[in-house]
Chains A and B, each alone.
Chain A
Amino acid sequence: MIDLLSYAAFFLTMALTYAVICLGLNLQWGQTGLFNVGVAGFVAVGAYVSAILTTPPIEGRLGGFELPMIFGWLGGGLAAGLLCLAIGALTLRLRSDYLAIATFGAAVVIQLALLNLEGLTGGPFGVGFIPRPFGALQGDADLFALSNLSVMIVTVLICYLALEHLVRSPWGRVLRALREDETAARALGKNPVTYRLQAFAIGGFVMGIGGAAQGHFIGFIAPDNYLPILTFQVWTMLIVGGSGNMRGAILGAVLVWAIWAVSGSAVSALFPTEQQARAASLQIVMIGVALCAVLLLRPRGLLGEAGTLRRAKTRTAPKISEGTETNA
């Protein structure tokens, strides 16, 4: 039973780090309609910057500033936010899917940088000895797990309340107005690029914090943790939970992480070792199909967006698409 308690606490802690990432994505996509395909890259930036700021120095690698953890988390968030700002500034004036392509490319380059900039990131071996919250309590497994969990619950609460406050503020109303009817919002004098850029950068900041937190709970990060599959998991969490709804983002993160963990251990329990890689790829196929199915059948997710009347989706004449859909 004792093992079960600390395992449950650790599981929930990990799920809540995803919830923070998911909250950041929700501001970008759910509230603003910006499609970020590079989530893994921004999460990685948050995790690595925080690790470099807080770890003890190591021969041959930059960093080792041994700063308190809070500076690491904020620094990680800030770095990811600034990166989002740069990519947003590059693409948000152009067609809406250029942002998707650019974030995809950014994630590819960040992955390359993690692997090749060994003096900064430790290369393929990653960064170890990342201080863990309440490291002094490590002797008592339960107390350690529960205190970690409480740190994460507080973090999620802060992010949730701050974002909820933001989206209910006049600023958040402008974001939704831009998403729903850009022409009308422009007619009221709101500059779409500025608002979208702000939302994209703040979302990136939150994502970076989620990444930093994750690194500190695992204690070790490597480039393999930040493959495109991570982007996909976070997206599935948001879509399943219901984009546009902050509570949905948290619920989706816990739910999808649970499904992922259970199906992952089912794969390792049911299949012989040599077949496990194949079974794992089938696991990803199913998630891909599930994402498409949710988009087709239940586009609002489990919880959907609260408090807004979205435009009716019915159209009489079949159209090829939205036509001249742009961001500008």
Chain B
Amino acid sequence: MTLQPIMDGLVNGAIIGLGAIGVTLTYAILRFANFAHGELLSWGAYLALTLSGALGALLPGLGTSLGPFSFGWSVPIAMVGSILLTAALTLAVDWLLFGRLRRSGAVTIILVMASFGAALALRNLLEFAYTSSPKYFSNALQISREILPGLRATPDQLLVVALGVVLVVLVHLLLTRTAAGRSMRAVSEDPQLSALVGIDTRAVIRMVWVLGAALAAVAGIMSGVVVQIRPTMGHDLLLPLFAAAILGGIGSVPGAMLAGLIVGLAEALTVQVIGAEWRAAVSFVILVAVLLLRPQGIFGKVSA
């Protein structure tokens, strides 16, 4: 038994955690389980891949590796572009689909079903545009270094974990320390009452989409850097995202990240102990355990 699964688990957990923050915010503030959230990770990764490919072709200097990492400046620059485009995508989908359903007074479950349809359309659009063969940001091979006895990591992996932690702290501060965050939490508590005291709920909804999309894009790109980019990558992560959001407690940002790390570690340990073929079942086991033992999650409040 080595420490190696811990590193793999933390890397995947950071990616799951970032995605789960978007799920938990949509769930708490827009009040529905968004089955299309996984696709935002895929879209973020593919948009960044396209942008960084274009940048690398225009300015070959941007493609050369950055310090110890496997990618050049083109990837961080493309990440900014991808965040903006993914955010624009979610706003477009909200304008086309979810916003209209909300205004027509549709019940929660209709929104869930619409997100299911949107997920299928978005995923297969990617498969149509990019085919199902896996893509990579760079072909450079990275040698993992020993950072502790029995624990090896590549610089890319360490960057993913560090970036994940920094982003969680930033989002947590945004929600707890700024006016925008306060209005988001208010809408999550009671949409009618917060509209009554003058909070622009539509602006809050837009903020939720943009924030969720930005984190999803970053998570997708990180997954693309340390693993690979496939049209089904977001769909494969969807169950871990839901498991993490529910385990962390709906609405809790630190909870989502902590639970993401727990899910990631549990998956890595399962791969080590039982076998890689059962990896996808881990999230379901965690989900069932949470629903049985503590349906409100680690940091969740008991709802009526």
Contact = CB atoms under 8 A, between A and B. Distances in A.
A102 B295 CA distance: 12
B128 A282 contact: yes
A101 B291 CA distance: 11
Contact of B109 (A96, A228, A282, A291): A96
Given A285-B124, A320-B187, A278 B113 contact: no
Interface string A274-311: 00011001101101110110011001000000000000
B131 interface: yes
A295 B284 contact: no
B108 A96 contact: yes
Given A94-B295, A315-B105, A320-B187, A295 B278 contact: no
A17 interface: no
A57 interface: no
Interface string B95-116: 0010011111111111111101
Contact of A320 (B116, B205, B295): B205
Nearest to B27: A97
Contacts of B117: 288-289, 291-292, 295
A322 interface: yes
Nearest to B23: A101
Contacts of B263: none
A213 B30 CA distance: 41
A105 B242 contact: yes
A255 interface: no
Interface stretch (A106-114, A135-143, A163-171, A214-222): A106-114
A35 interface: yes
Contact of A278 (B128, B201, B281, B284): B128
A320 B105 CA distance: 8
Interface stretch (B3-11, B31-39, B159-167): B31-39
A98 B291 contact: yes
Contacts of A101: 33, 242, 246, 287
Interface residues of A, number: 50
A326 interface: yes
The majority secondary structure among interface residues of chain A is helix
Contacts of B35: 37, 100, 104
B304 interface: yes
Range of interface residues on chain B? 35 or more
A282 B281 contact: no
A59 interface: no
B171 interface: no
B132 A277 contact: yes
A325 B291 contact: no
B207 to A, nearest CB: 13
Nearest to A115: B277
A321 interface: yes
A90 B295 CA distance: 10
Interface of A: 33, 35, 37, 90-91, 94-98, 100-102, 104-106, 108-109, 112, 115-116, 228, 232, 235, 277-278, 281-282, 284-285, 287-289, 291-292, 295-296, 299, 313-315, 318-326
26 contacts: A35-B109, A94-B291, A97-B33, A102-B291, A105-B287, A109-B281, A109-B284, A112-B277, A228-B235, A277-B127, A278-B127, A282-B128, A285-B121, A288-B118, A288-B122, A291-B114, A291-B116, A291-B117, A292-B117, A295-B101, A295-B117, A296-B97, A299-B110, A321-B30, A323-B31, A325-B108
Given A282-B128, A289-B117, A292-B117, 15 more contacts: A98-B295, A100-B112, A101-B246, A105-B243, A108-B239, A108-B284, A292-B114, A295-B110, A299-B106, A318-B102, A320-B30, A321-B102, A323-B192, A324-B303, A325-B109
